[in-house]
Amino acid sequence: MPAVGREGQIMKQRDEQAGLILLVEDNRGISEMVGEFLERRGYSIDYAADGVTGLHLAVTNSYDVIVLDLMLPGMDGLDVCRKLRIDAKKPTPVLMLTARDTLEDKLVGLDAGADDYLVKPFEIRELEARVRALIRRERRQVSAELLSVGDLVLDTASLRLTRAGQELLVSPIGLRLLTILMRESPRVVSRRSIEREVWGDLLPDSDTLRSHLYNLRKIIDKPFQKPLLHTIHSAGYRLADLDAETAASRTA
């Protein structure tokens, strides 16, 4: 599975295939199984067996999804993901493969910038379903909007997020969650509605949404004086400036 470096060729081929995938996995048996299965399903695959090569390919090419193993020689998957998000500022969806299945391990992966995770050993059809869901979500057309809640502002065209004028870096799923909550603000959005909107029929396990929201709070709320993201017990979540609501109710 040779690496592709010609950007124009990649873009031309993309419309003719299910998706262009970068697979970063050092286990040859797993990489061959995944690569051969996805190629039979119409995907084009680039392959790297170590983190350094994987990062280089991820930064220099445009992929629909990156399937990234956590334990890699040279540079582990967490470092690859962090450098991809922070240094290269690439929003390419990342599906992380890991043998660790505790909530803390998942939080660390999501905090590094992964969009989804799959625990080894896994069913190959589930991996394809998760890849397909990430591609479908990423290709969905979104009209350009400038959304704001308090001093939090999201430009859905440029995907630029700021709070109090400070630019914030959020994962693609984090941006999707914010878009949903900001469009509905100040209304409460149920957990099920959010999951359906983000993942479609392929609902994640119970920790996934909670983990993403935990990481989102660390970025958009923790460094600032007041929180905007609120959990409404047994109802869902909402994004709202409570001080502004209180002031508005007093003047009403």
pLDDT digits (tens, 9 = 90+) for 99-118: 877 777 777 787 788 888 88
Cα separation, 125 vs 129, in Å, equals 6
Query: Between 12 and 181, where is the model more confident?
Result: 181
Amino acid found at 208: T
Domain ranges across the chain: 7-139, 146-251
Nearest to 67 by CA among 26, 111, 10: 26
Q: Is 133 or 178 the better-scoring residue by pLDDT? A: 178
pLDDT grade, residue 217 (50/70/90)?
very high
Q: Pick from 127, 109, 110: which is nearest to 118 by CA?
A: 127
Cα–Cα distance between 61 and 211 in angstroms, integer? Answer: 29
CATH number of this structure's domain 146-251? 1.10.10.10
Q: Measure Cα distances from 81 to 32, 77, 110, 215 in Å.
A: 22, 6, 9, 15
Q: What is the pLDDT of residue 138?
A: 73
**For residue 75, is pLDDT > 90?**
yes
pLDDT classification of 140: cutoffs 50, 70, 90: low
Q: Are 230 and 239 in contact (CB under 8 A)?
A: yes
Give mean pLDDT, residues 141-153.
81
Selection from 206, 141, 122 nearest residue 179 by Cα: 141
Query: Tokens representing 159?
Result: 């995907």
Q: Which residues contact 240 (CB under 8 A, 6 or more apart)?
A: 149, 150, 185, 186, 228, 230
CA–CA gap between residue 74 and residue 197 (Å, rounded)? 37
Whether residue 15 is predicted with pLDDT greater than 50 in this model: the reply is no
Alpha-carbon dihedral of residues 34, 39, 45, 49, nearest 10 degrees?
30
Domain 7-139: give its CATH architecture. Answer: 3-Layer(aba) Sandwich (3.40)
Check whether the bond before 121 is cis (ω within 30° of 0): yes
231 compared with 199, residue with greater pLDDT: 231
Whole-angstrom distance, CA of residue 10 vs CA of residue 3: 11
Contacts of 206 (CB under 8 A, 6+ apart): none
Query: Which tops the pLDDT comparison, 106 or 71?
Result: 71
